């Protein structure tokens, strides 16, 4: 599993608790990585979750699942990289998207070989899941 913009590490932690054996959690903010390291240790998951400050463009392996809770503009910027990093048949889960931004994100996902899109809405927020 790949967690892009891990922040507190909550998505990586949740992924590990759901059974992901190896997780790469990325963030460019040193303070976020420090908090994620603390939270991962508190949950005794340091062996399952690897933290890194590497830029997403420098990651070369592919993942079965990639998650990103990012703002709209960052999602747009990173979309070509998500396509490269999610293995065929893999799943991409994006959140941090406003309801009115869903159609744009769905269009980009389709252009980058993602399909079977599922959208979940809560108040003004949206979460999209798509399969490559």
Domain boundaries along the sequence of the chain: 2-131
What tens digit of pLDDT does each residue of 4-55 get? 999 999 999 999 999 999 999 999 999 999 999 999 999 999 999 999 999 9
Q: Which among 49, 10, 5 is positioned nearest to 27, based on CA atoms?
A: 5
Give the pLDDT score at 76. Answer: 95
**How far apart, in whole angstroms, are the C-alpha atoms of residue 103 and residue 16?**
30
CB contact at 8 A, 36 and 27: yes
Average pLDDT over residues 92-105: 97
pLDDT at 67: 98
Specify the CATH class of 2-131 in words.
alpha beta
- What is the 3 state secondary structure string of 79-129? HHHHHHHEEEEEEEEEEEEEHHHHHHHHHHHHHCCCEEEEEEEECCEEEEE
Model confidence pLDDT, tens digit, residues 110-127: 999 999 999 999 999 999
């Amino acid at each position: 599993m790949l967690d892009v913009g891990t922040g507190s590490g909550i998505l990586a932690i949740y992924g590990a608790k759901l059974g992901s054996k190896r997780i790469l959690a990325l963030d460019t903010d040193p303070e976020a990585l420090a908090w994620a390291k603390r939270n991962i240790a508190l949950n005794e998951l340091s062996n399952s979750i690897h933290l890194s400050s590497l830029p997403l463009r420098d990651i070369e392996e592919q993942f079965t699942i990639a998650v990103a809770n990012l703002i709209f503009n960052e999602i747009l910027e990173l979309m070509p990289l998500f396509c490269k990093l999610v293995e065929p048949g893999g799943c991409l889960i994006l959140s941090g998207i406003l309801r009115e931004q869903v159609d744009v994100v769905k269009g980009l996902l389709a252009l980058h070989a993602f399909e079977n899109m599922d959208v979940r809405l809560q108040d003004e927020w949206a979460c999209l899941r798509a399969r490559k």
